[in-house]
Structures are given as structure tokens and as C-alpha cells.
Amino acid sequence: MLLNKCHCLLVTISLFFISPIIYAWNQVGHKVVAQIAYDNLTPAAQQQVNQLTQIISTYYSKQASFIDSAIWADSLMQRDIKTFNTWHYINLPINQKGKHRQYYAKINVVWAIINAQSILSSHASNNFEKSLFLRFLIHFVGDVHQPLHAANLYSKRFKYGDRGGNLFLIKNRDAKNLHAMWDRCFTLSNRKYQSAKAIIQLANQLQNKYPKAYFGQALQITSPMQWAKESHTIAKDFVYTAQYNRPLTRAYQQQGQLICQQRLTLAGYRLAIMLNSIF
């Protein structure tokens, strides 16, 4: 489904007023997904994404590169632009004794990826639209691989869901709740990876640790809903083994960090496959 012109206009106007902040994977997470994707683009695809990235960058110079533009979608929320809020996640329910109404919004991260994909592939879209939706796509392919962007826990404590771990408190110096901890991939602080060089190094480390062969068949899965379901399964089987309002165990943090690193790397490879096929 194509987004109508009003939405595009709204975003165009808002571009002049926004500043960067963090939601979902933090800035490091989103940038490293973009970097891994960029590293795996064909020269033709690289050339096209470079051109498209430049169009929006005229309005928003702070995030002028393909890598930096990965965090742009989160900065819209900071300016209280609510139109795109549900595009970042899909609340697939995890039910622990839940008997309450459970649903997820139809306009969700899976929809957003498919929408962006179709706009980028369509001859009917102009380059401004493509530039805009390329930014969305880079960001949302990252988001859907964060386990807590595809899960909502219903339990005795959370009768109406825990908002993807946002209400699930933990005792930790770096993060107040489970969602925030997974967003920062446990150890990837924005302060530590501020420079473009640091992101490139991290992307190289992750690709060396998890080369494409590591993921095997998983790289052939091109359905965003399947990606969301993978995230949901990880949330169900591992993420929510954390204890509410308690410190995370060392074992949990180590395992969680590995899972995060794998999800970031996989997201980067899958984004590259998608962009190579579009361009």
C-alpha cells in the first residue's frame, strides 16, 4: 500500500524541525545494521542508495549519509510526530495466564517494511518518496530484529501487556527496563561508538564473528513477518526469563549480548539482500 501525499508532506515539513534521539535499537544498533548492509551492497545498489540518500539530506544535513540516516525515523518521535509511532514494532502477544484482549496494530513494523519495499520498487514513486522510504526501510529492518519490537507480554502483572518490555523493570545501572537494555544490546553505548570509524570497526567485528555462512538458510528468509516471528520466539524463550525488578544474571547478560549481536548482523545482511534485489 502506498502512503498518500499528505503523509509525505507532513514529513517534509517536519524535516526542518527535528533533532536526533534514540528509540528501538539505540543509535549504535541502527547504524551498525546500516553499515553491514552497505558493506554488502552491489556497486550498482550502492550508487543508487547514495543518490537517494542525498535527496532528503538536503533538508536534514545532520544525517546525510546512508549510515547516519538509519536513526532518522526515531528522531521523528522525539518531535512528537505520532503518525509513524506504530511503524517501529509489532506487538505479537506472549501469553502468561492472560485472558485479556490481545491484539496488534495493523499498521506495524512488518507493514511498514512491506510498504517501504513496494514504494522503492515502484515506477510510480518519485525520487523524493524513494529517498524518504529508503530511510524508513533501513531503520525498520533493524527494529524488527530487536526481539522486544515483536513481543508484548500479558501476565498477572501486565494485564494489558508490558509494552514490549518497556514496563518490565530491571535493576541495572545502564537501563531501567528490559526494553531499554535490549535496545542498547547490553554493552553498545552511544557514547562509546560515536564516530563513523567506530561503527565501521564494530560492523567489521560482527561480520568476522558472524559471516554469512553462519546464518545459512536464515538468509533466504525474505518475509518480514517471519523475521518478526523469529524475534517473538527469542523474546518468549529467552528475553522474558529475566526476573521482574531484579538484576540480570551474568549468564543472562552474556547470552543476551550474543543474541543481540547476531540479530544486528543478520538484519544488516537481510537489508543488503533486500536492497540489492530492489536496485
Cβ atoms of 67 and 196 within 8 Å: the answer is: yes
- The piece of 61-69, 142-150, 155-163, 240-248 that touches Zn ion (CB under 5 A) is 142-150
CA angle 28, 195, 257 (to 5 degrees): 30
> Nearest approach, Cβ of 140 to Zn ion (angstroms)?
7
Cβ proximity to Zn ion: between 45 and 56 the closer is 56
The single-letter code of the amino acid at 169 is L
Residue selected from 129, 143, 183, 230 as contacting Zn ion according to rule CB under 5 A: 143
183 counts as binding Zn ion under rule CB under 5 A: no
> Nearest approach, Cβ of 157 to Zn ion (angstroms)?
25
> Nearest approach, Cβ of 25 to Zn ion (angstroms)?
7
Long-range interactions of 173-182: CB distance < 8 A, separation 24+: 178/148, 178/239, 178/240, 178/242, 179/148, 181/248, 181/256, 182/146, 182/147, 182/148, 182/239, 182/256, 182/260
Which residues between 53 and 82 bind Zn ion (CB under 5 A)?
74
Cβ proximity to Zn ion: between 71 and 119 the closer is 71
141 counts as binding Zn ion under rule CB under 5 A: no
d(CA 84, CA 109): 10
Cβ proximity to Zn ion: between 48 and 177 the closer is 177
> Nearest approach, Cβ of 154 to Zn ion (angstroms)?
23
Cβ proximity to Zn ion: between 107 and 214 the closer is 107
> Nearest approach, Cβ of 142 to Zn ion (angstroms)?
7
Residue selected from 31, 88, 135, 232 as contacting Zn ion according to rule CB under 5 A: 88
Site string for Zn ion, 21-40 (x = CB under 5 A): ---x----------------
- The piece of 20-28, 119-127, 213-221, 235-243 that touches Zn ion (CB under 5 A) is 20-28
> Nearest approach, Cβ of 103 to Zn ion (angstroms)?
21
> Nearest approach, Cβ of 250 to Zn ion (angstroms)?
29
Cβ proximity to Zn ion: between 24 and 45 the closer is 24
Cβ proximity to Zn ion: between 72 and 252 the closer is 72
In the complex, the residues that contact Zn ion under the rule CB under 5 A are 24, 74, 88, 143
